[in-house]
Chains A and B, each alone.
Chain A
Amino acid sequence: MTDLDTLEHSLLEQVGGASDEAALDAVRVSALGKKGAVSELLKTLGAMTPEERKERGPLINGLRDRVAGALGTRRDALQAAALDARLASERIDVTLPLREAPEMRGRIHPISQVIDEITAIFADLGFSVAEGPDVETDELNFTALNFPEGHPAREMHDTFFLAPDHLGRRKVLRTHTSPVQIRTMRAVEPPIRVIIPGRTYRHDSDQTHTPMFHQVEGLVIDRQANIANLKWVLETFARAFFEVESVGMRFRPSFFPFTEPSAEVDIQCSRKGGEIRFGEGTDWLEVLGCGMVHPNVLKNCGLDPDQFQGFAFGMGIDRLAMLKYGMPDLRPFFEADVRWIEHYGFRPLDVPSLVGGLTA
């Protein structure tokens, strides 16, 4: 065995024995560094005769290449092992629960959600949204809507009144959204197609009544809208709102001071185990009142009832919410109990639309 063989054997043994990159680097320096054993040998080539160089050159260069190669291989292996060791120590417990994201925690109140649903449906039918104040005049809440003087609805036990002004006139908290019909007809030239969602108030408080509740009113005025159109609008709405192919509807003649003819509308449903389903069954559930706008109301808005005509309808938003989503009781709607809101509320990004469906 030559001294080169001995050296190579020794170096390769050291490379193999290096247990980390620092040790390996020490071997590299001792072999290939400026003063390294192999470098020193390479330096001897310069003083050799061409013949000696021709013989020794390839041997020394070969030695250098093999040592360098072994160093590289060993370095890769050590680095891979070091990475493995690091990764093995870098473990997280992926089952640790996160904080719930804000957009998962937040909730939209069912009333807002249902108003958005109703708005989406009627906007698609060409309706805009009209609004009016909660504090209303007696004239707009009653008189202009053809309520006679002395009508029971105008009494203290039904209606909230505010303090009388210096002329003795008392404002009321609107008992329905219908005064906005008057405001709209007085402000806008027909054709009119609006829905009017809003808060309404009645002096009533028990299991199924709260002194404040929500209504949505619809108003269509032009020169031809009739009961046939009214039926179509309501059927279209009911199918879209309750998300069923068809809804059985029953129009019963009824009475409201501000419509003539008037009707109440029942929808067909089944009740099984406290659950109401629409589009099936044999029960009837009253959901809304409607009718052709009374000629006196049209006149009160400066419209000639022989020229203009149309219909109006009104329904309880809270009640629609209860029917669709199954809340058993009305009062918790206004109690701001976080457990109720979390349970019955809607996620913020579940925005109802007809494109994507009212509910997911």
Chain B
Amino acid sequence: MKFTLSWLKDHLDTEASLETIADTLTRIGLEVEAIEDKAAALKPYVVANVISAEPHPNADRLRVCMVDAGDGAPIQVVCGAPNARAGMKSVFAPAGTYVPGKNITLSVGTIRGVESRGMLCSGAELGLGDDHDGILDLPADAPTGQPYPLYAGLDDPVIEINLTPNRADCASIHGIARDLAATGIGTLKRDAFPPVRGEGACTVPVTIELGDDPALCPVFALRLVRGVTNGPSPAWMQARLRAIGLRPINALVDITNYMTFDRGRPLHVFDAKKVAGGLTIRRAGEGEELKALDGRTYQLDGDTVVIADENGVESIGGIIGGEASGCAASTTDVLIEAALWDPKNIARTGRRLGVITDARYRFERGVDPAFVLPGLDLATKLVVDTCGGTPTQATIAGEMPDTDRVIDFPWTEVRRLAGIELSRAEMKVTLETLGFHVAGTGDRVKVLTPSWRPDVEGKADLVEEVIRIAGLDRIEPKPLLRADVNAVGPKLTVLQRRTRSAKRALASRGLLEAVTWSFVRHEDACLFGGGGADLALANPIAADLSDMRPSLVPGLLRAAQTNADRGYGDVALFEVGQCFETDQPEGQSIRAAAIRRGSARHGGDGRHWSGTAAVVDAFEAKADALALLTALGIQTGSLQIVAGGPAWLHPGRSGTLQFGPKNPVGWFGEIHPAAMKALDLKGTLVAFEVRLDALPLPKFKPTKVKPVLALSGLQPVSRDFAFVVGRDVAAGDVIRAAQGAERKLIAGIEVFDVYEGVGIPEGSKSIAVAVRLQPVERTLTDAEIEAVSAKIVAEVAKKTGASLRA
């Protein structure tokens, strides 16, 4: 919403400075977006008399001018404009002036050997248009020495405010003035305009045919003015319209635009001679269209409310008029329309048709219903004053909606919600200046809302009115009392804490945290177990961001490839974030995943004097996964690691982490070659993914005391065993069998060698383990050690078919 300072002062009697007005606007919720003050920007530019213009001694196209700027001795200026001539009036800028059109600051210079102490300017150089034909050529009576902006009438600053959608009333300069008046910086001018006494009835009948939903157009008023002369509108009106960015067209059209901004009352004018028969307000039929005043043709449908005559649709109600019945210079009889339209329907229609007009802007926010007839009268008066003519009486179809709303308001509500103590007198004055009626005198009053404030519905709205005018800066901050003064527990849930810790743990392993999109392309979603219809976006912003991600891995893999394409191939990335299995809240899981590419190992990547890093393998991903579980304090005693994983992992080089077969919590491994191909990935990639919300919760313990530490004074002994087992036997099974053989004495088992080849039968492998025995009561005898060894060998043989390597 734009307006000029002088226009505002038509409605507000004030001595306040522009700065005060701007600050006040922002302070009361009408945020000033920009102030364009050409007068200030162009202050150094003055009307000047060109005394002489002689050819430049050293340049054919330049002239040396002597300029009288009204303040003393003539000033020498070198000028290249073809129209520079002695005796002309133009605009002069002295050295030191900023030239907005050229973005330079003038200095005293020497041009081809002749000194130049300023510049004669074109309109373009002043930023006032795009004429490049030469310097400004002002009339002979332009007063030498007068500041040019003053002379040119540019001394009216333009203020632009950012209007929140609830403040329909301030889409009007009158409404803005009313708000400002409530702050006390001025007084609202309430100019009374007597109703227009038209002669005779309006001869164009109006019918509203919206039987199913009369609220679409509650009221429609029309008046005919005969015998008008539709020339250009007055210069002052044109200047104001131009200042706020509108193009003057002709008096009748300009008056409707002027009323739209001046009073927030959009109107439409029809050339009465181009209207056939009466006007009907109805829904458009399918297939109807309108060539509108903006030159575009709009396809209408049954949800569009239109104004039609016998020729068909003439105007889209409340949005834009049609070209056919528009007013032109030839118009002699004009129909002025003032109506009310349904805000929701206007918004919907405007969006569907993609048309933005000043009328739509106001009707979709809500136009003052009580101002339909006064608005029509005021417009009529402007038409008659400007264009002459004789008005008829108004035809009114429909009924004025009842907008009266009374709010039962305890004054204490302001203190309760805003935490500030204001006097009742102040609050009452504020509301009344804003147009509310306050009835009653006690602690509770009845407040009648004005017709132009559909946004004020209840007590909280009145509190806002009071405090925004009082100023939010008057509310002193007060400490918020804690609600949990007696609480000592953590503020985060276990899962929240684990989510945070997971990030720190993974970053500590040299991984970089990525935050990738929650949506992936459909093919990727399908490949990673998702892609269901319930998680596909109906309106994705791009084809590759179409489905909610079922896994963090595809996003990380693609990110790795993008980095590789940039020349960073050895990347290690992780993400902790949400994944989606269904569209239900419980279908959203929180996961941690990491990928490693090339040689990006935990210990370092690439070549190094201490040893070159090998290409990553599944164990690198396994290490990340287990490090994460350990960092999260997960008891891994009952964690099982079994071969295989989801389909996107290499079937032979992947594993699943589970707490029992029905409770998998994650997986790790090398990316399946088919998935690599589908995602167009190069190189070697490994990944792990863990569902943080599937991990077992810590057991509640009544005490935080750790178990007693029992240190043995007895030396542990170690025994090595080399088992020959079938190739498919898992080392984990060998370890578990050995562990199970002797629960009391075995303190640890390490696999120190895995071998296949010469000396081992085809289809078998050797797994060498070191078993550490910790004596408990006394040193073990050789016989006892032998007995334990025999039990281990027997148990491993029984469980895995192993034999001791010869």
Does the CB pair B608–A199 fall under 8 Å? Answer: no
A2–B249 alpha-carbon span in the complex (Å): 142
Tell me, yes or no, whether B781 is within 8 Å of chain A by CB.
no
A337–B165 alpha-carbon span in the complex (Å): 39
CB within 8 Å of B: which of A304-360? 305, 309, 333-339, 341-342, 345, 347-349, 351
A-B contacts besides A109-B514, A336-B562, 12 pairs, CB < 8 Å: A125-B480, A134-B578, A135-B587, A160-B538, A161-B538, A228-B476, A232-B477, A253-B29, A336-B515, A339-B568, A348-B507, A349-B504
Does the CB pair A135–B588 fall under 8 Å? Answer: yes
Does the CB pair A156–B539 fall under 8 Å? Answer: yes
Does the CB pair A163–B534 fall under 8 Å? Answer: yes
Q: Which of A125, A203, A261, A342 contacts B464 (CB 8 A)?
A: A261
A254-B164 contact, Cβ under 8 Å, with A107-B507, A227-B418, A351-B504: yes
A162-B538 contact, Cβ under 8 Å, with A126-B484, A255-B165: yes
- Chain A residues near B563 (CB, 8 Å)? 336-338
Min distance, Cβ A151 to any Cβ of chain B, angstroms: 9
Taking CB as reference atom, which chain A residue is nearest B537? A160
- Chain A residues near B806 (CB, 8 Å)? none
Chain A window 245-256, contacts with chain B (Cβ cutoff 8 Å), 1 for yes, 0 for no:
000001111110
Chain A window 230-247, contacts with chain B (Cβ cutoff 8 Å), 1 for yes, 0 for no:
011101000000000000
Does the CB pair A337–B566 fall under 8 Å? Answer: yes
- Chain A residues near B27 (CB, 8 Å)? 252-253
Tell me, yes or no, whether B473 is within 8 Å of chain A by CB.
yes
A49–B609 alpha-carbon span in the complex (Å): 75
Does the CB pair B500–A116 fall under 8 Å? Answer: yes
Does the CB pair A228–B492 fall under 8 Å? Answer: no
Taking CB as reference atom, which chain A residue is nearest B459? A295
Min distance, Cβ B453 to any Cβ of chain A, angstroms: 13
A134–B571 alpha-carbon span in the complex (Å): 29
- Chain A residues near B460 (CB, 8 Å)? 260-261, 292, 294-295, 305
Does the CB pair A253–B477 fall under 8 Å? Answer: no
Q: Which of B458, B472, B588 contacts A227 (CB 8 A)?
A: B472
Min distance, Cβ B44 to any Cβ of chain A, angstroms: 24
Min distance, Cβ A341 to any Cβ of chain B, angstroms: 4
Taking CB as reference atom, which chain A residue is nearest B511? A106
Taking CB as reference atom, which chain B residue is nearest A222? B483
A254-B29 contact, Cβ under 8 Å, with A133-B585, A294-B460, A337-B563: yes
Interface size on B, residues (CB 8 A): 96
Does the CB pair A135–B583 fall under 8 Å? Answer: yes
- Chain A residues near B535 (CB, 8 Å)? 135, 162
Does the CB pair B536–A233 fall under 8 Å? Answer: no
Tell me, yes or no, whether B752 is within 8 Å of chain A by CB.
no
Taking CB as reference atom, which chain B residue is nearest A263? B472
- Chain B residues near A292 (CB, 8 Å)? 417-418, 460, 463
Tell me, yes or no, whether A277 is within 8 Å of chain B by CB.
no
- Chain A residues near B568 (CB, 8 Å)? 338-339
Tell me, yes or no, whether A220 is within 8 Å of chain B by CB.
yes
Does the CB pair A201–B518 fall under 8 Å? Answer: yes
A129-B491 contact, Cβ under 8 Å, with A193-B484, A255-B167, A338-B573: yes
A134–B583 alpha-carbon span in the complex (Å): 9
Tell me, yes or no, whether A100 is within 8 Å of chain B by CB.
yes
- Chain B residues near A116 (CB, 8 Å)? 500
Name 10 A/B residue pairs within 8 A (Cβ), A-sorted: A103-B510, A106-B506, A109-B514, A127-B491, A134-B578, A160-B541, A226-B417, A227-B417, A228-B418, A254-B31
Does the CB pair B491–A128 fall under 8 Å? Answer: yes
Tell me, yes or no, whether A211 is within 8 Å of chain B by CB.
yes
Does the CB pair B513–A228 fall under 8 Å? Answer: no
CB within 8 Å of A: which of B539-595? 539-542, 545, 548, 555-556, 559, 562-563, 566, 568, 571, 573, 576-578, 580, 583-585, 587-588
Query: Which of A135, A155, A305, A349 is the most central at the interface, judged by chain B CB atoms within 10 Å of its CB?
Result: A135
Does the CB pair A348–B344 fall under 8 Å? Answer: no
Tell me, yes or no, whether B26 is within 8 Å of chain A by CB.
yes
Does the CB pair B518–A212 fall under 8 Å? Answer: yes
Does the CB pair B518–A102 fall under 8 Å? Answer: no
Does the CB pair B467–A252 fall under 8 Å? Answer: no
Tell me, yes or no, whether B405 is within 8 Å of chain A by CB.
no
Tell me, yes or no, whether A53 is within 8 Å of chain B by CB.
no
- Chain A residues near B604 (CB, 8 Å)? 99-100
A161-B512 contact, Cβ under 8 Å, with A226-B419, A229-B480, A337-B563: no
Chain A window 106-131, contacts with chain B (Cβ cutoff 8 Å), 1 for yes, 0 for no:
11110110001001000101111101
Does the CB pair B419–A191 fall under 8 Å? Answer: no
- Chain A residues near B496 (CB, 8 Å)? 129, 131
- Chain A residues near B584 (CB, 8 Å)? 133, 135
A294–B459 alpha-carbon span in the complex (Å): 10
Tell me, yes or no, whether A86 is within 8 Å of chain B by CB.
no
Min distance, Cβ B392 to any Cβ of chain A, angstroms: 37
A292–B462 alpha-carbon span in the complex (Å): 13
Min distance, Cβ B49 to any Cβ of chain A, angstroms: 41
Min distance, Cβ B691 to any Cβ of chain A, angstroms: 16
Tell me, yes or no, whether B635 is within 8 Å of chain A by CB.
no
Min distance, Cβ A107 to any Cβ of chain B, angstroms: 5
Taking CB as reference atom, which chain A residue is nearest B26? A252
Chain B window 184-212, contacts with chain A (Cβ cutoff 8 Å), 1 for yes, 0 for no:
00000000000000000000000000000
Chain A window 143-183, contacts with chain B (Cβ cutoff 8 Å), 1 for yes, 0 for no:
00000111010011000111111000011010000000000
Tell me, yes or no, whether B733 is within 8 Å of chain A by CB.
no
Min distance, Cβ B213 to any Cβ of chain A, angstroms: 14
Tell me, yes or no, whether A262 is within 8 Å of chain B by CB.
yes
- Chain A residues near B519 (CB, 8 Å)? 211-212
Tell me, yes or no, whether A205 is within 8 Å of chain B by CB.
yes
Tell me, yes or no, whether B755 is within 8 Å of chain A by CB.
no
- Chain B residues near A262 (CB, 8 Å)? 464
Min distance, Cβ B500 to any Cβ of chain A, angstroms: 6
CB within 8 Å of A: which of B258-302? none
Tell me, yes or no, whether A85 is within 8 Å of chain B by CB.
no
Does the CB pair B610–A99 fall under 8 Å? Answer: yes
Tell me, yes or no, whether A301 is within 8 Å of chain B by CB.
no
Tell me, yes or no, whether B102 is within 8 Å of chain A by CB.
no
Q: Which of A105, A129, A164, A336 contacts B510 (CB 8 A)?
A: A105
- Chain A residues near B573 (CB, 8 Å)? 336, 338
Does the CB pair B534–A162 fall under 8 Å? Answer: yes
Taking CB as reference atom, which chain A residue is nearest B516? A336
The 5 closest A-B pairs by CB, nearest first: A228-B419, A253-B29, A102-B510, A261-B464, A336-B559
Min distance, Cβ A115 to any Cβ of chain B, angstroms: 8
Chain A window 11-42, contacts with chain B (Cβ cutoff 8 Å), 1 for yes, 0 for no:
00000000000000000000000000000000
Chain B window 44-55, contacts with chain A (Cβ cutoff 8 Å), 1 for yes, 0 for no:
000000000000
Tell me, yes or no, whether B517 is within 8 Å of chain A by CB.
yes
A96–B545 alpha-carbon span in the complex (Å): 46
Taking CB as reference atom, which chain A residue is nearest B31? A252
A335–B29 alpha-carbon span in the complex (Å): 38
Taking CB as reference atom, which chain A residue is nearest B469? A253
- Chain B residues near A111 (CB, 8 Å)? 515
Chain B window 398-440, contacts with chain A (Cβ cutoff 8 Å), 1 for yes, 0 for no:
0000000000000000011111100000000000000000000
A185–B222 alpha-carbon span in the complex (Å): 51
- Chain B residues near A149 (CB, 8 Å)? 344
Tell me, yes or no, whether B43 is within 8 Å of chain A by CB.
no
- Chain A residues near B512 (CB, 8 Å)? 105-107, 338, 341-342, 345
Query: Which of B28, B463, B467, B503 is the most central at the interface, judged by chain A CB atoms within 10 Å of its CB?
Result: B503
A161–B559 alpha-carbon span in the complex (Å): 26
Does the CB pair A106–B475 fall under 8 Å? Answer: no
A264–B468 alpha-carbon span in the complex (Å): 12
Tell me, yes or no, whether A303 is within 8 Å of chain B by CB.
no
- Chain A residues near B417 (CB, 8 Å)? 226-227, 261, 292, 309
Does the CB pair A103–B29 fall under 8 Å? Answer: no
Q: Which of B468, B480, B500, B545 contacts A211 (CB 8 A)?
A: B545
Min distance, Cβ A321 to any Cβ of chain B, angstroms: 11
Taking CB as reference atom, which chain A residue is nearest B460? A260
Tell me, yes or no, whether A132 is within 8 Å of chain B by CB.
yes
A108–B578 alpha-carbon span in the complex (Å): 17
